[in-house]
Structure 1
Amino acid sequence: MKRYVALGSSMAAGPGILPRAEGAPFFAGRSARNYPHLVAERLGLDLVDVTYSGATTANVLTDPQPGAPAQIDALDGTEDLVTVTIGGNDVGYVPLLFAAGLPQFVRRVPLLGDRVTGQLDPAARDRALADVGRSLTNVGRTVRQRAPGARVLFVDYLTLLPPDGAAPPLSESDVATGRHVADELARATAEAAVATGCELVPAAEHSLDHHAWSAQPWTTRFGLPLPWRPAPLHPNAAGMRAVADLVVAQVSGRKGPHSG
């Protein structure tokens, strides 16, 4: 059976989408119905899923997380397929949206307010966006070296925010900032794929009509993180199925589903 290794953050792990993946570290938030599991089932692949909520590019390459080594250690050179969904935590994408959606008074609460304000710091955000392209390129290059015979697919993030219009409780300016971060992350991911001889699965492009405020969302809105439902501002079960469709279509050489 061909070997498939899935690398990435919570956008691939699928926290809150039941059931949980058997044997996964608790804090990974890894679902047995995330897109790597669905792809492996449909293509008959032997899956090694090391996706982990909160992962950054450093956690892919060098830094362990609770109960798990750096994700790159899962590669042994026998892989036929590797998927990578990473980068959002490097730029604080979802934390930015969470912070922006909190009531204004929270920003005045001692200690907590400083953390919230820090997530919204434009200078820190711009520095992170400037660095993430280089980090993603390092990921692509290292994966290609460690898995030389594999097809390596960067799978970018599903669209969270509407392409235009409101996304309550976010302000108009915060929505614009979120869109900018998402656009820059998608651009950096695509450029890293080209620069390192990897492929791109443009989940962001295909999900424009399925943002969290749409009639048929593939991602969730704001809310309390509860263990029996998909995490806020993350893929839902429909979103994971849609991403799996895109990956399977690309691997099989077929056209992906229409974004509508």
Structure 2
Amino acid sequence: MVIRAFRGGRVAAVAVASGAALAGLAAPAQATGQPLPYVALGDSYSAASGVLPLDPSASPLCARSTKNYPHVIAERTGAALRDVTCGGAQTKDFAGAQYPGVAPQLDALGADTRLVTMTIGGNDNNTFISTILACAAAGVLSAGQGSPCKDQNGTKFSDDIDTKTYPAVKAALQAVRNKAPDARVAILGYPWIMPATAQSGCFAKMPIAKGDVPYVRDIQTHLNTAVRRAAAETGATYVDLAQASEGHDACRASGTRWVEPALFGTNFVPVHPNALGESAMADRTMSALGLG
């Protein structure tokens, strides 16, 4: 997810069978002394848009960082990474070119792919950008009081997630399965952007009205639930970041937060994971997959 208006989208218990399955997938590559073929797909939460340094092999439009969680995973495991993550990606960009010169992400997959990771869905229907912009504008106009964004929008964002985002994510995951039938596929939930309740002093960094803080959080919960459901129905592993990212939202201090705020943050793309967040996302993904 790239929020263009600003200009820059604990782990679940892992069954023993999951680790065994991964070992089975990794064995052919390891038996020949070759690293695990790994393809990273997804949006700016996968690309770490806003974190420096940028990946020189990527289009500048993707704002892909060499510190994104796929690079961290590859560095820690020795996997052979093909990274096609791109800021602003939607599910439609799996099958179609997102930008001129940027190939459809599915083109990176093949019969030899053994591991695929991604975050995707947050940009479909402009869910993240529309939520943040609408609720920030409403928060400023209300001087941070009440729940103006919820009052104005109701269930609109959640309804779009149910009727549009969920089936699109499910279809994207199935397309990945079709292109890489022998790969282990993992899709990450999005780490918390907002805390569960309004935090003192956070309005200066995230101008969301007090009553809309739980509303924004609920929209993100809704999105992650849709992603989890799509994963379960396509045989993918869902990497749950809800418990792990609690207390690391954009309202926290630098060095604690995993997601940078809209204002006074350190990333050149706001409301996105920082390097600490990307490293934590790598940790949770490796744990969920039994890697390392």
CA contact under 8 A between 2:48 and 2:273: conserved in structure 1?
A: yes
Aligned partner of 2:90 in structure 1 is 56
* 1:200 maps to 2:238: yes
Q: Does the CA-based 8 Å contact 1:57-1:87 persist in structure 2?
A: yes
Tell me what 2:29 maps to. Answer: none
Task: Give how far 1:224 is off.
Answer: 7.4
In the alignment, which of 86, 90, 100 is matched to residue 135 of structure 2? 100
Contact preservation (8 Å) 1:27, 1:66: no
Task: Give the 3-state SS of the residue equivalent to 1:22 in structure 2.
Answer: coil
TM (norm. structure 1) is 0.84
- How many residue pairs end up in the alignment? 239
Correspondence for 1:239: 277
Segments of structure 2 that go 5 or more residues without pairing to the other structure are 1-34, 143-148
Aligned partners of 1:64 and 1:253: how far apart in 2?
A: 31
Match of 2:210 in 1: 172
Contact 1:159 1:210 in 2 (8 A): yes
* Residue from 27, 47, 51 that aligns with 1:13: 47
With over 3 angstroms needed to count, the CA separation of the structure-2 counterparts of 1:16 and 1:253, relative to structure 1, is: closer
- CA distance 1:122–1:186, shift in 2 (3 Å): same
Root-mean-square deviation (Å): 2.2
Distance 1:90 1:212, change over 3 A: same
Assess if the C-alpha contact under 8 Å between 2:192 and 2:245 holds in 1.
yes
TM-score, length basis structure 2 = 0.75
Identity of aligned residues (%): 33
Structure 1 residues 33 and 138: alpha-carbon distance in aligned structure 2, compared to 1, 3 A threshold = same
Determine which structure has more spread, i.e. the larger CA radius of gyration. 2
Aligned partner letter, 1:231: V
1:121 is displaced (CA, Å) by: 5.0
Counterparts of 1:93-242 in structure 2, within 5 Å, are 93-95=127-129, 96-102=131-137, 103-104=140-141, 122=154, 125-130=157-162, 131-166=164-199, 167-168=202-203, 169-215=207-253, 216-223=256-263, 229-242=267-280
State the structure with bigger RCO (CA 8 A, min sep 6), 1 or 2: 2
User: Secondary structure at the residue paired with 2:257?
Assistant: coil
How far 1:123 moved relative to its partner? 6.7
Does 1:33 find its partner at 2:67? yes
**Counterpart Cα distance in 2 of 1:137 and 1:251:** 20
Instruction: Report runs of 4+ in structure 1 exceeding 3 Å deviation.
Output: 102-105, 120-124
Alignment of 1:80-91 (within 5 A): 80-91=114-125
Which stretch of structure 1 is more off in the superposition, 212-221 or 27-36?
212-221
Q: Deviations over 1:13-60 (max 9, x none)?
A: 111211111210011010000000000110101111111111111112
Shift of residue 63, structure 1, vs aligned partner: 4.4
Gaps (5+ residues) in structure 1?
106-116, 255-260
